[in-house]
Structure 1
């Protein structure tokens, strides 16, 4: 698996990246320490979480390669993902979108900074 970022997506994410930042692609399903609510519909809902190295990553036992480094995920969330994914920016709404060659996985992926 691999995740790429468009030029515009890299610009949106840049303020959150530092040497000690850990990026998590969280399937917001109500499972885990950082997931406050699950989605009770047929939609999948992802969030990009920004954590520090010291924060608990035990719910995110897998990682996906990307040009910005490892992106941690819940192992079972791979069921919703494609081998090749890309983050782009919706030009009208200025929000991150997660897509693949097969289509859009999530039209609105918020960046949530949970560093203490």
Structure 2
């Protein structure tokens, strides 16, 4: 799978993505382990770039890109990403799109706290369920 990272996005991400980082393009809809949102009304329409110092066993599919980033997705994201995938920076936000059109006009960049993810899986699951009942 490939993604074209437009010059505008590369300029925006320049100071946010360390060269040695692992970057995960993850859903931010309650379905990924990195998501803080809950509820099913947002499935597949919200994404984030998660910046990590280490690889992740769930995010093993590389996204070949023109910026040289170590960028990966999990099997869960494959359903929502099509041909012609691109990331641009427009109107003060990261915009993810593919040949079908806009996927997310507000992709966020999140630094991963590895210790918190490992320690707080159960707490995060409960939090997402609670938030999901309030969001949708």
With structure 2 as the length reference, what TM-score do the two structures score?
0.71
Distance apart, 1:66 and its partner CA: 0.9
Answer yes or no: is the 8 Å Cα contact 2:49–2:109 preserved in 1. Answer: yes
Q: How many residues align?
A: 112
**Alpha carbons 1:27, 1:74 under 8 Å: kept:** no
Describe the SS at the equivalent of 1:88. strand
Q: Which structure is higher in helix share? A: 2
Confirm whether residue 26 of structure 1 aligns to residue 9 of structure 2: no
Which region of structure 1 is more displaced relative to structure 2, 28-37 or 40-49? Answer: 28-37
1:99 to 70, 92, 97: 97
- Measure, in 2, the Cα distance between the counterparts of 1:42 and 1:18: 29
Compute the RMSD of aligned alpha carbons: 2.1
Which residue is 2:65 aligned to? Answer: 66
TM-score after normalising by structure 1: 0.82
What's the offset of the Cα at 1:34?
A: 2.2
Paired residues for 1:72-111 under 5 Å: 72-91=72-91, 94-111=92-109
The structure number with the bigger radius of gyration is 2
* More strand, by proportion: 1
- Which residue of structure 1 lines up, in the alignment, with residue 120 of structure 2? none
Moved runs in structure 1, 4+ residues, more than 4 A?
none
Q: 1:115 to 1:14 in 2, by over 3 A?
A: farther
